[in-house]
Chains A and B, each alone.
Chain A
Amino acid sequence: MKKNRKKILRKRKPNRSIGGDIGIYILLILFGAFFALPLVYSICTAFKPLDEIYIFPPKFYVKNPTMDNFADLFNIMGQSFVPFSRYIFNSVFMTAAGTLGNVIFCSMGAYVLSKYQFPGNKAFFAMVQTALMFSVYVTQIPNYLIMTKLGWIDTYLSIIVPAFATPMGLFLMKQFMEGIPDALIEAAKIDGAKEGRIFVRIVMPMVKPAWLTLIIFSVIAIWNNRAATFIYSEELKTLPYALQQLILGGVSRAGVGAAVTLFMMIVPITIFLMCEGNVIETMASSGIKD
């Protein structure tokens, strides 16, 4: 016990007050409860039998947890006109392809924008940053017109390709790449490395937390995309769209609706945990800085 306490004390940073640490823990627990509340509620509701969902006065927690909602959900899925595996494939494919392209294109652009001086550099970045401020609701119609011109309506391309060049992705990657010392890149050049090699071998490993974070952003955005404006064929539709159709069945589908909410979160949360776990781990290895 005593040994343990010593170990904890040694691990503490020397300039941290114990009172402050306790304060932080209390704050995090209080706010954590507030932030987790709706999430806990949706998880509970997904396991509630129908009579508990409509009980009065309403109960927050589930009393007799049941898997009925999920059984119903999979049952309805099985009766679908297009096999549900098809919707799942569509969503997984679009999310994976879109995210991969997003990370690669944004990182390549961010690398030269942050580490090289060339005519048009600053102006281009200012444009990217400004583009973030324009409301997406009014660009939907022009986007639709452009998609029509390209002949991409009702294809995977209409969802995947625009996801490659998000202003937020480039902005994020550029901000992180600015922290890489120029001396490191110069040294690599003197050793005869070409830009492509420097990018893959030096720059990308150093900004691992950034692209892991970008993967999270991208997966969440594309996964939740209902893609209802660009895609009409039933067999190309995405999972959130198909699931939304299921729960429009009224009061009796309320339980299924709760199950759907939880079901949709499985993929983003899994990706989040995988990436964020790595972000937190990279700390020890990112030692090279000036």
Chain B
Amino acid sequence: MSSVMAKYMTIQKRKFKHGWKVAKQSRICYLFLLPYALLFTLFTVAPVCMSIYYSFTYYNVLEPARFIGLTNYINLILADDVFLISVKNTFLLAAITGPIGYIMSFLFAWFINELPRLLRAIMVLIFYAPTISGQVYMVWALLFSGDSYGYVNAWLMQFGIIDEPVLWLTDVKYMMGVIIIVVLWMSLGNGFLSFVAGLQGIDESQFEAGYVDGIKNRWQELWYITLPNMKPMLLFGAVMAITQSFGVADVTMVLCGFPSTDYAAETVVSHLIDYGQYRFDMGYASAIATVLFVVMILCNKAVHALLRKVGT
């Protein structure tokens, strides 16, 4: 019996020694990661954990947070009609602008890659300009202005398509349509730029080998050579598309007003801003953020599973 024990102990010891040895060998790795890990923990992980904790409390920022269990979540699902509208809008936005924006980002990056060099730089600038300028989307408020001063109204009336100005940004019927256009206009962002950079890195010799192996047209080349080489960037772009399309708030708040007519343009994030920054209910806002967080993680998982099939 004791011999069995002794054997078990030596195995455990060896295991521990091995683990320690691996960790020691990786010391340099931890050293490289340390500065990032420290700051990331302090300025990202800690605030996220605190927010998730606040979601179980009543916290008005002035008084200390008071633990109230699941009350915020129960209210959110059962008692908040506006939240349901915001969920509907956010899903609509995510379902449309997410995939379209993502595919557009890749296609335009790929098309631009075919151009001569100087032209390429100019085109990348034009498509990325909405992201560079940060605030320029406010111009859309003028373009879609509801009176006949609005450019869109003025043009449509000039061509006789409409007789009187359309309230693009305040009429419940048109709001989301306009928002979708503007969000799509802004969707060639960070993912797009990473695609442009990624396409530059693909080795020319692979394409040359492709010509020899009988790749007939650009679409075959895209599927068999370009896309498999771009997998890491495609993943990055997908995550960017998810965070962008689920996070829409500034655009609706600036264009449709805040709150918008009948809350018809309320998104989950603008709902969260309403509670967090105007009604001083951080606990409730954190609960909204946590729900959104879980939904986005699930969406991310699904997209990863899809991307694994690329190029096979």
Give chain A's interface residue range (CB within 8 Å of chain B): 35 or more
Q: With A and B bound together, what is the CA distance between A268 and B121 in angstroms?
A: 15
- A118-139 Cβ-contact flags toward B at 8 Å (1 or 0): 1101001001111111110111
Which listed segment binds B: A64-72, A73-81, A82-90, A141-149?
A141-149
B269 with A135: CB separation less than 8 A: yes
Determine if A265 is an interface residue (Cβ-Cβ < 8 Å): yes
Q: Does B117 contact A (CB under 8 A)?
A: yes
Cβ-defined partner of A35 (8 Å) among B45, B126, B239: B126
A44 to chain B, nearest CB (A): 11
Which residue, A124, A135, A142, A220, has most C-beta atoms of chain B within 10 A?
A: A135
Which of B37, B51, B134, B136 is close to A142, meaning CB atoms less than 8 Å apart? B51
> Chain A: interface secondary structure?
helix
CB distance from A213 to the nearest CB of B (A): 5
From A39, A135, A217, B247 is in contact (CB under 8 Å) with A135
Mask of A255-290 contacts with B, CB within 8 angstroms, 1/0? 000000100110011001100110111110011010
Complex Cα distance, B37 from A160, in Å, reads 16
Report A-chain residues with C-beta under 8 Å of the C-beta of B39. Answer: 105, 161-162, 164-165
Of B46, B210, B269, B292, which one neighbours A146 at CB under 8 angstroms?
Answer: B46
- Using Cβ atoms and an 8 Å threshold, which residues of chain A touch B115? 28
Of the residues B136, B201, B220, B272, contact of A138 by C-beta under 8 Å: B272
Our pick among B37, B123, B210 for the contact of A32 (Cβ within 8 Å) is: B123
Please judge, given known A-B contacts A137-B289, A175-B232, A283-B200, whether A112 and B297 are in contact too, CB under 8 Å. Answer: no
**Distance A32 CA – B217 CA, assembled complex (angstroms):** 25
Out of A57, A134, A165, which one reaches B40, CB within 8 Å? A165
Interface residue B91 (Cβ < 8 Å from any Cβ of A): no
User: Once the chains are docked, how many angstroms separate the CA of A145 from the CA of B131?
Assistant: 30
Q: Which A residues lie within 8 Å of B47 (CB)?
A: 139, 142-143, 146
B residues with CB within 8 A of A: 19, 22-23, 26, 28-30, 32-33, 35-40, 42-48, 50-51, 54, 61, 108, 111-112, 114-115, 117, 120-121, 123-137, 139-140, 142-143, 148-149, 151, 154, 185, 188, 190, 193-194, 196-198, 200-201, 203-205, 207, 210-211, 215-218, 220-221, 229, 232-233, 235-236, 239-240, 242-243, 246-247, 249, 269, 272-273, 276-277, 282, 285-286, 288-289, 292-293, 296-297, 300
Residues of A within 8 A of B (CB): 13-17, 20-21, 24, 27-28, 31-32, 34-39, 41-42, 56-58, 60, 105-106, 108-109, 111-113, 116, 118-119, 121, 124, 127-135, 137-139, 141-143, 145-146, 161-162, 164-165, 167-168, 170-172, 174-176, 178-179, 195, 199, 209-210, 212-213, 216-217, 220, 224, 261, 264-265, 268-269, 272-273, 276-277, 279-283, 286-287, 289
Which A-B residue pairs are the 10 nearest by beta carbons? A118-B26, A165-B39, A109-B36, A175-B232, A142-B47, A209-B197, A139-B47, A142-B50, A38-B139, A133-B296
